Amino acid sequence: MDYSDEIKKRRTFAIISHPDAGKTTLTEKFLLFAGAIQIAGAVKSNKIKKTTISDFMEIERQRGISVASAVMSFEYRNLKINLLDTPGHKDFAEDTYRTLTVVDSVILVVDSVKGVEEQTEKLMNVCRMRKTPVIIFVNKMDREGGSPFDLLDELEKKLDIKVRPLSWPISRGSSFKGVYNLYDKNLHLFKTQQKLADMEAVSISDLKSSLLEEHIGAENALQLREDINLLNGVYGTFEKQGYLSGEVAPVFFGSAVNNFGVKELLDAFVEIAPSPGPMAADARIVKPEEEAFSGFVFKIHANLDPRHRDRIAFFRVCSGRFERNKFYKHVRLETEVRFPNPASFMGQKKEVIDEAFPGDVIGLYDREIFKIGDTLTEGEKLMFKGIPSFSPEVFKELIHTSMKAKQLEKGIKQLTDEGVAQLFLMSHGNRKVVGTVGLLQFEVILYRLQHEYGAECRFEPVNFFKACWLTTTNQAKLDEFCKFKADRVGRDKDDNIVFFAESEWMLHHYIEQNPEIGFHFTSEFKNDTKE
């Protein structure tokens, strides 16, 4: 198989949703249908001790939520699938936003009972800005929920995207009979908790056929025919190009917990989803078919295997062929590095690989040489765009409570290197301040510091409203400002100057009074705007 065939074989995508919409359950069912795992886990049941493959951290198992993105690579229908399961909780949104810079498409899960929720809208905003192709899976059709037509209207209105159903439910809740697959012209009959081997599909290319009445009854058959006629009149035919350009979102219905509608979704996905595409770098657009290797780090995870205290950099291959033990240029450090044990992942489990191609997400053992956004190439000096640190929303001072200062220093550095939080060293008194986008992250940090590093600490709230990265065209003015506000100025992990405003009103006041100073709300200064 030549190089271009390897690229065409890849599908790299993320599954995203509001918490509890069924995202992680859908992830596991994909793995089941692909034969990558044999038993699905249960996210929240205390009776079932087998936990989900993607929620591999102990705190994830205890809380029943995803707190970090997980990578699953597997084969399906002769294709190489790189699936990234992301946190749904808003407190871990920054990890999800970064993951969206890596993928070529997205499956967005919506709870049929609750409809479009706040976090779903925020995630869709990111996809829309990047023009990422999106497929929507309306989950939990076996529960009593709203009208499918009302759901479609809500999807278009709240997510600001055109939709086109490719499957359609036959009733819902307790009377749910199944779905008609408009893409493959098949009727799939619903059976509660059906096994994979018991999937039943009836080929009905002509909806006028009496087979419809035989399988779902006269009333449901009549309703289905009316619904499909209305759908075709309102939404027209499905155009693949509209989906690939991010303008139209195909919609599928089903019940992930019951394995229902999942295979139809997966089969359609591998047919219409894009293979790896170009990625934007500071110097130029990098195309996957280029022979020269390049790629970037989008996530770092310390102690993926607590027994070995390993630190893994998750890396997206953008162009060329990555080869084990070959030397590559670390652009930021301007040095040559090689990797004897690169790995592919199935959640926490990893397997050493010899090569990887564009679209692949691999793990590189990191001897603390990587930061999020770092690039590897075969010599070219470039950095990939779109992987900023966002301004935190919650700030707390780190207070030592034990004698294990070295363990605490190492632990907080490694955990903030992962991007789950940001560490700032204040100019006044050398205080350490941690910033996050949500309170739950502090629980995760305290838990991991104690259980992974044996370090105890506590967090004390500080009265900061916003963190702003500062730049200037007049160094004297910046020095004067930093001296005047010394108790509210610090530096981030890259030694950039950061100012902490006490309120929204005061922030706007400082911006108006200091036109020669740039106040930035992400660390990606070149693409940020002054507010």
**pLDDT tens, residue order, the chain (531 aa):** 578 899 999 999 999 888 888 888 898 889 888 887 766 543 333 333 344 444 444 544 444 444 445 788 889 999 999 998 776 445 555 667 778 888 999 999 999 999 998 888 888 888 888 899 999 999 999 898 889 999 999 999 999 999 999 999 988 888 888 888 888 777 777 765 555 544 556 677 677 878 788 888 899 889 988 999 999 889 988 999 999 999 999 999 999 988 888 888 999 999 999 999 999 998 899 999 999 999 999 888 876 665 656 788 999 999 999 999 999 999 999 999 999 999 987 755 778 999 999 999 999 998 889 988 899 999 999 999 866 667 788 899 999 887 778 888 888 888 887 777 889 999 887 799 999 877 878 888 888 888 888 888 899 999 999 999 999 989 999 999 999 999 999 999 889 999 999 999 999 999 999 999 999 987 765 444 444
For the chain, give every domain's residue range: 3-272, 279-377, 394-527
Q: Which two tokens stand for residue 163?
A: 């939709």
pLDDT for 92? 53
CATH, range 279-377: 3.40.50.300
pLDDT for 50? 41
pTM over 0.85: no
User: Measuring CA to CA, which residue among 68, 109, 94, 85 is closest to residue 13?
Assistant: 85
Supply φ then ψ for residue 270, to 5 degrees: -65, -20
Q: Is 274 helix (H, G, I), strand (E, B) or coil?
A: coil
pLDDT for 48? 33
What architecture (CATH level 2) is domain 394-527? Answer: 2-Layer Sandwich (3.30)
Judge whether 3-272 and 279-377 match in fold. yes
pLDDT for 94? 65
* Helix 148-159 / helix 118-130 crossing angle, nearest 10 deg: 60
pLDDT for 320? 96
Residues paired with 376 in a beta bridge? 295, 330
Does CATH number 3.30.2130.10 belong to domain 3-272?
Answer: no
| Sole residue written with tokens 């994830």 | 60
Torsion angle of C-alpha atoms 292, 298, 304, 309, degrees rounded to 10: 80
Q: How far apart are the first and last CA of the chain?
A: 51
